[in-house]
């Protein structure tokens, strides 16, 4: 059959079902809403729509044919999606878009539009073929999921803020406790100092002085605890650095040369007092026993953070440890007991000349 110049596929599609082209019949009968538009006509109007399209939109064929597809759009249709479709039509490309469309009764549905140009042999676009699908359920449930997600995220943010506030409150409280402990220790120190002044026996006075130094060392531990932003960890490296300066300074000795090779080294805050007291015993021993009778010398403090355990060595170049140790001294038994408590180990070795005391202890496993 010879086709006239203005022959159109749409004419074929207007044939009643079963009488024309079997593909045309299929397009008419399918449950998928479909339209064909004719770009050769003004404003690219719909020239064919199937039954399913009429059912989807609520319009009759007469109300559809001859109109541009935009009659399905409404105030809430997304402008960006519309312009994407417009650009695809202008440039002759396929396009997929989910559009909010309006039925005749103004109710809305989400339309999954798939539009593609149909070209003739010479490449000219003869039609645009558009299939549609009501995907309201999918889009609405996606929206519901997105809304839920936003709600959950908001709730998580709120709870995180609550937890952060609770943690800040706890930090403040703990700092307050450490502050008070430090103040009480300072007060105990002042009371002991008053007592020392009334004691004539130099031996007893010296013993009380040693006690005072221990109380002072504990006060320094608590001061550092409440000044730190870290609740779980205590920087023993910085502590021993400052304590060594304090102890040498308090001795009034300018002939003891202090060498510090220290760095930050963290232990669990729970072990701070015990380790702090041990270091105080070792440092005061060096001042008392290594440099007594005005003997000058060198005192070194080295913090080693290279191994899995923390190591601090305090070495002097005094006379070295006596072969027989005093058995009833408080210092040594304090070190033994506190070391057990802090899971630390103290070892003494000859420094030729002098003494080296090394304590090895677990480092804090808490990350900042
Ligand atoms: N660095 C040192 N150099 C030389 N001798 C030391 C050193 N450290 C300790 N000693 C010796 O070990 C002894 C025991 O020390 P320990 O700390 O137990 O007792 P103390 O210092 O004499 O008294 P305190 O009970 O007040 O500490 C000391 O009396 C001293 O003789
Ligand atoms: Mg001692």
Q: How far from the centroid of its chain's Cα atoms is residue 248's Cα?
A: 43
* Average pLDDT for 289-312: 93
Residues with CB under 5 A from ligand 2 (ion): 285, 331
Q: Report which of 260, 256, 214 is spatially closest to residue 240, judged by C-alpha positions.
A: 260
CA 51 – CA 107 distance, rounded (Å): 19
Q: Report which of 151, 80, 97, 91 is spatially closest to residue 117, judged by C-alpha positions.
A: 91
User: Is the domain defined by 233-368 classed in CATH 3.30.565.10?
Assistant: yes
Residue 302's SS3 state is strand
What is the overall mean pLDDT for the chain?
Answer: 91
Taking 60 as the threshold, does the pLDDT of residue 13 lie above it? no
Q: What's the pLDDT at 75?
A: 95
Taking 50 as the threshold, does the pLDDT of residue 265 lie above it? yes
Give me the CATH topology for the region 3-134.
Answer: Beta-Lactamase (3.30.450)
pLDDT classification of 368: cutoffs 50, 70, 90:
low
Q: What's the pLDDT at 3?
A: 46
The dihedrals phi and psi of 104, each to the nearest 5 degrees, come to -60, -35
Identify which of 212, 279, 300, 326 to mutate to test ligand 1's pocket (most ligand atoms within 8 A of the CB).
326
Per-residue pLDDT tens over the stretch 194-250:
999 999 999 999 999 999 999 999 999 999 999 988 888 999 999 999 999 999 999
Is 318 within 8 Å of 291 (Cβ atoms)? yes
Determine whether the shortest distance from the Cβ of 38 to ligand 1 is under 6 A: no
Per-residue pLDDT tens over the stretch 315-363:
999 999 988 766 678 899 999 999 999 999 999 999 999 999 999 999 9
pLDDT classification of 17: cutoffs 50, 70, 90:
very low
Determine whether the shortest distance from the Cβ of 285 to ligand 1 is under 6 A: yes
Contacts of 317 (CB under 8 A, 6+ apart): 290, 297, 298, 351, 353, 354
**Sign of the C-alpha dihedral, residues 84, 88, 91, 93?**
positive
User: Which range among 235-244, 287-296, 303-312, 356-365 shows the weakest confidence by mean pLDDT?
Assistant: 287-296
Q: Report which of 124, 52, 135, 63 is spatially closest to residue 99, judged by C-alpha positions.
A: 135
Q: Report which of 150, 149, 168 is spatially closest to residue 160, judged by C-alpha positions.
A: 168
Determine whether the shortest distance from the Cβ of 289 to ligand 1 is under 6 A: yes
Residue 259's SS3 state is strand
CA 302 – CA 311 distance, rounded (Å): 8
- Sheet containing 355-362: give its strands across: 256-261, 297-304, 309-316, 355-362, 345-350
Q: What's the pLDDT at 22?
A: 80
Q: What's the pLDDT at 73?
A: 95
Taking 90 as the threshold, does the pLDDT of residue 146 lie above it? yes
Which of the pair, 19 or 29, is modelled with greater confidence?
29
Would you call the peptide bond into 353 cis, given omega within 30 degrees of 0 as the criterion?
Answer: yes
* Average pLDDT for 185-201: 94
């Amino acid at each position: 059959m010879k086709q006239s110049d203005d022959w159109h596929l749409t004419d074929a599609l207007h044939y009643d079902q079963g009488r024309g082209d079997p593909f045309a019949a299929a397009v008419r009968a399918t449950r998928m809403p479909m339209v064909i538009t004719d770009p050769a006509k003004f404003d690219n109007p719909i020239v064919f729509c199937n039954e399913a399209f009429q059912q989807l939109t609520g319009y009759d064929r007469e109300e559809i044919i001859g109109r541009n597809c935009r009659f399905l759009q409404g105030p809430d249709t997304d402008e960006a999606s519309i312009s994407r479709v417009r650009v695809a039509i202008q440039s002759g490309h396929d396009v997929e878009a989910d559009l909010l469309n309006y039925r005749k009764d103004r109710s809305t549905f989400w339309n999954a539009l798939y539009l593609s140009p149909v070209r003739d042999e010479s490449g000219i676009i003869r039609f645009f073929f558009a299939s549609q699908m009501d995907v309201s359920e999918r889009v609405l449930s996606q929206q519901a999921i997105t809304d839920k997600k936003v709600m959950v995220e908001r709730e998580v943010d709120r709870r995180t803020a609550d937890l952060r506030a609770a943690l800040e409150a706890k930090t403040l409280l703990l700092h307050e406790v450490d502050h008070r402990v430090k103040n009480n220790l300072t007060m105990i120190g002042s009371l002991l100092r008053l007592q020392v002044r009334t004691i004539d026996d130099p031996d007893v006075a010296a013993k009380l002085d040693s006690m005072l130094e221990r109380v002072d060392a504990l006060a320094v531990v608590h001061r550092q605890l409440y000044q730190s932003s870290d609740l779980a960890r205590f920087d023993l490296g910085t502590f021993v650095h400052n304590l060594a300066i304090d102890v040498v300074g308090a001795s009034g000795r300018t002939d003891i040369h202090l060498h510090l090779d220290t760095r930050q080294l963290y232990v669990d805050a729970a072990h701070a007092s015990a380790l702090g007291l041990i270091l105080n015993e070792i440092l005061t021993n060096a001042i008392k026993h290594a440099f007594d009778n005005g003997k000058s010398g060198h005192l070194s403090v080295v913090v080693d953070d290279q191994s899995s355990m923390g190591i601090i060595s305090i070495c002097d170049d005094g006379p070295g440890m006596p072969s027989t140790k005093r058995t009833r001294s408080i210092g040594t038994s304090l070190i033994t007991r506190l070391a057990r408590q802090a899971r630390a180990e103290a070892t003494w070795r000859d420094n030729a000349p002098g003494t080296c005391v090394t304590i090895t202890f677990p480092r804090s496993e808490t990350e900042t």
